[in-house]
Chain A
Amino acid sequence: MGKRVAKEVSIAVADAVAQCRVDVISAYPITPQTHIVEHLAELVNNGELDAEYVPVESEHAALSVCIGASATGARTFTSTSSQGLLFMYENLFIASGLRLPIVMVIANRSISAPISIWNDHSDVMTMRDAGWIQTFAENGQEAVDLVYHAYKVAEKCLLPVAVNLDGFIVTHVVEPIEMAEQEVVDKYLPPLKMKYKLDPKKPVSMGAIGVPEIYTEAKKALDEALKASYKVVIQAWREFEKLTGRRYNPVESYHMEDAEVGMVIMGSLAETASNAVDELRAKGKKVGLVKIRLWRPFPMQDFLKAIGKVKALCVIDRAISHGATGGPVGIEVRSALYQSNKRPRLVNFIAGLSGRDVTKDDFKELFERTFEALSKKPKFSYEIYGAKE
């Protein structure tokens, strides 16, 4: 067992990346990701980490470097936020299309305009269709553990993995964190060996044209690989549990066994929401929480199991899909329900944009409004909660 030490989460995440013995790091600093890559640069500079740190002129280049390095069989890392992620955009699809096991930590932040450095999920939701495995951390311990997990999964599936943690709310908080022992990490993560890589002794071509006769098949193969990664994600968490005692699931539920109203949420707001659940439970209200940790591939069966027999679901989104029928999570959940026989009433709120606090009282109100929706069908398909009239 490792020792619990108080650490800023960004520093702990960087230390975890170093423990994974990465070969190449390439990143461009952007708030609130900065401390992660700064600390890694320090570790490389001090000789504590034997890796190549490639400073670049942009995030587009940062991911390009990772793509090139990963194609040669190197273990790579990058990290970004907000506009930086958007600047990487076209390369996101190349990383997954070429099946490169790159790991990226995203310190989630709003996107411009208006410019904002604060937290929500509008950056990562733009890449939900990019073919990356995507996980969400609720707190610092999870963030660190998801980094170890990301390398395990990426390299077994040969798919890129994005680990999401809420900017500032998670990244800049000092938490007691138990880092895995180095020998445990080494046992968990054997050196990366890729069957095919850029090697002059055994040449292969990557990134060839996909003519209409073959493009569909190439995309189908990626889609199947992403779906099949689900099993590896679970196995990697089970193996991690054996080594560290910490257990993770794609979907976590809290007080859902007999819940009438459930709330679906991702990321750090789940901690506040669970406090609201505790207080409402103390008053006899049958409420519960469903936390989605694995966003891609979407764990449909786990989700359907987790919601039990709720009569109504309140889905919290932290991003807007302008002009759509709901927020990204709301749309996903409605689609999942449509394929099952479960038909709880569903209300979808977009809350906590750009770091606006969603307090315990807000969550109680959201639960209250979901109870109201049981007797009266809401007129909206989603609502931007808290927008001042």
Chain B
Amino acid sequence: MSTLAEFIARRLAQGVLVVWGVVTTVFLLRFLSPTNPAVLIAPEDATAETIRRIEEDLGLNEPITVQYLDFMFRAVQGDLGFSYASNTAVTSRIIGSLPATLELAFASLVFAIAISIPLGIVSAKYRGSKIDYGSNLISLGGLSTPNFWLAIMMVLVLSVQFGLFPTSGRPFGPTENLSSWIAHMVLPTIALGTYFMALLFRMTRNGVIEESGKEYVTAARGKGLPEPLITYRYILQNSLAPVVTVAGLQLGVLIGGSVVVEAVFAWPGIGSMFIRALNSADWPILQGVLIVVGTGYVLINIIVDVINAQLNPQVALS
């Protein structure tokens, strides 16, 4: 158990280092951007004097090291600055938009896992069958279709032609109007989750096939253990470790993908916010979203590693 604790401590220390790198990178990005925030904030007919005063207000005339330390110091305290466009606190803007993104990402993840893992096991067990052939075809399609196009095609067929689902928006939260919330969730969830589902399906299928050929499986069969026990307790558990790792690493695809999917469905999450901010060069918002998403990614991957270490104790030792 102590090795696991050590492992977690080591991963956390690494994580802190990476998060520091993330915040630094994000700071530098704003610095590299050619737009002068003071000009953005100032009214159109502002004099050079006004612009200079705003620059002073924002601390833009300070040396880069001072600005950097200030940025770091605030970021650690959860203060991500103020939006250039609306002068609202970035942190509260993100807190306001994050739930919509998280519920979409979570729903997509559940959708992806619920379909891919069982289908992967069945596909591997009945290799070469019609089910295997069909699910491989779906998985190839899922891996090859850009999520925004899939989204538009679903809107075209299911919303415009058949009127089954609303085309966009998220007018109510789950507590206000549950059925409307679910109806608005369906298409974005499928659009965002399909790639992930296809990926996890492949990993599960390959993992189960690979594990099934190992000697301990033959030994377990020889001992007369019941087949479901062999499949679920032995094969599945051992083939899931790489699946979990890849799922964690590819989570960026899910979060990045939510930017496009949110744009298609006018979903009021941090993705839509990011695109709006990009169009108006609202760097504090861009920085805030990048920091939150980057930190979240690092955290989730630490959790994934810990889960993996628990699934397979050898990982922690290496």
Are A and B co-members of a single complex? Answer: no
